């Protein structure tokens, strides 16, 4: 189902009036985690003004440590929905369990399967039954073949609206949190019709490097970007060091639109 051989045209995935696919650059931005009703609304307004069309925000946070902030769960989903309605942004939230999927479908426009769950086949099949488009992040050490098979799990349940998200992979390099595999974009485009987006934030883990990687993503033909933006990155409950400030995102969004128009 995800094999380019059987699909002459790249997929266009519709979300309301927006589309993820060829001839358009989806700009998804927001905090790593929804922290409060006010925080998500403030960020939504800022990223909307800068030109984003999707709002990201985690309500279920599978953190590396079980003692770190785990997310506001259903309450966070409600705040996402309110912020989406107030700004006209489409919303995306990660789901980590069937319970989270059942809650998310009531509030958000897309769901996200995180890197750590890319081969959670039970979760993939449930995502395939939920009726919402799914952003499938690449596993930390997954090959393209394994990743595409994970997409097949979702699609085999009747949901062909899958968007692949490259978010950096594990390598020997420690200067960045992960290593952005930029070649995954053309390599995927030759193998599958599915849209491919890039998450430069988790790929590098360093705010100062995000703009360069985001521009590289556009140059290499990605269909969109998902980036972390925070009203006060120093005090963020998760992933502050890689979160852009409002000002940085505003400048970057303008540059990305100009780049996309050229390519
Ligand atoms: C996230 O998007 O907040 C996240 C946890 O990303 P990943 O699954 O890529 O680590
Ligand atoms: Mn994060």
* Distance between Cα 115 and ligand 1 center (Å): 6
The number of beta carbons lying within 10 Å of the beta carbon of residue 38 is 11
* Distance between Cα 113 and ligand 2 center (Å): 13
> What is d(CA 110, CA 16) in angstroms, rounded to the nearest whole number?
11
> What is d(CA 185, CA 199) in angstroms, rounded to the nearest whole number?
12
Domains of the chain as residue ranges with CATH: 25-262 (3.20.20.70)
Identify which of 108, 77, 88 has the alpha carbon closest to the alpha carbon of residue 44: 88
Report pLDDT for 261.
86
| ipTM tops the 0.90 cut | yes
**169 Cβ closer than 6 Å to some ligand 1 atom:** no
pLDDT digits (tens, 9 = 90+) for 28-66: 999 999 999 999 999 999 999 999 999 999 999 988 899
Mean pLDDT score, 225-243 = 97
Using the atom order of ligand 1, give the atom closest to the CA of residue 33: 3
> What is d(CA 153, CA 121) in angstroms, rounded to the nearest whole number?
7
**256 Cβ closer than 6 Å to some ligand 1 atom:** no
pLDDT digits (tens, 9 = 90+) for 176-224: 999 999 999 999 999 999 999 999 999 999 999 999 999 999 999 999 9
Q: What's the residue count for the chain? A: 263
- The ligand placed nearest to the CA atom of residue 239 is 2
**138 Cβ closer than 6 Å to some ligand 1 atom:** no
CA-nearest residue for atom 3, ligand 1, is 32
Candidate from 114, 170, 228, 236 with most ligand 1 atoms within 8 A of CB, to mutate:
114
**142 Cβ closer than 6 Å to some ligand 1 atom:** no
Q: Does pTM surpass 0.95? A: yes
Q: Quick one: how far is CA 228 from the chain centroid? A: 9
SS3 of residue 97 by DSSP: coil
> What is d(CA 58, CA 35) in angstroms, rounded to the nearest whole number?
9
């Amino acid at each position: 189902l995800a094999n380019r051989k059987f699909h002459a045209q790249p997929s266009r995935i519709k979300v309301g009036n927006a589309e993820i696919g060829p001839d358009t650059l989806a700009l998804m931005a927001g905090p790593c985690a929804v922290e409060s009703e006010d925080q998500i609304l403030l960020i939504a307004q800022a990223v909307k003004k800068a030109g984003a069309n999707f709002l990201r925000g985690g309500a279920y946070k599978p953190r590396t440590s079980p003692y770190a902030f785990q997310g506001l769960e259903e309450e966070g989903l409600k705040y996402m929905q309110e912020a989406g309605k107030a700004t006209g942004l489409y919303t995306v939230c990660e789901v980590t369990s069937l319970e989270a999927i059942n809650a998310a479908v009531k509030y958000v426009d897309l769901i996200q399967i995180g890197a750590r769950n890319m081969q959670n086949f039970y979760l993939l099949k449930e995502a395939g039954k939920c009726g919402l488009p799914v952003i499938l992040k690449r596993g930390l050490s997954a090959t393209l073949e394994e990743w595409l098979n994970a997409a097949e799990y979702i699609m085999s349940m009747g949901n062909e609206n899958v968007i692949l998200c490259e978010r950096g992979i594990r390598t020997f390099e420690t200067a960045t949190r992960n290593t952005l595999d930029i070649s995954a974009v053309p390599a995927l485009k030759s193998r599958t019709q599915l849209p491919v987006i890039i998450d430069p934030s988790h790929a590098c883990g360093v705010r100062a490097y995000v703009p360069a990687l985001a521009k590289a993503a556009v140059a290499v033909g990605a269909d969109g970007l998902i980036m972390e933006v925070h009203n006060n990155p120093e005090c963020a409950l998760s992933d502050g060091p890689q979160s852009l400030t409002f000002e940085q995102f505003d400048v970057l969004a303008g540059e990305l639109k100009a780049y996309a128009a050229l390519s």
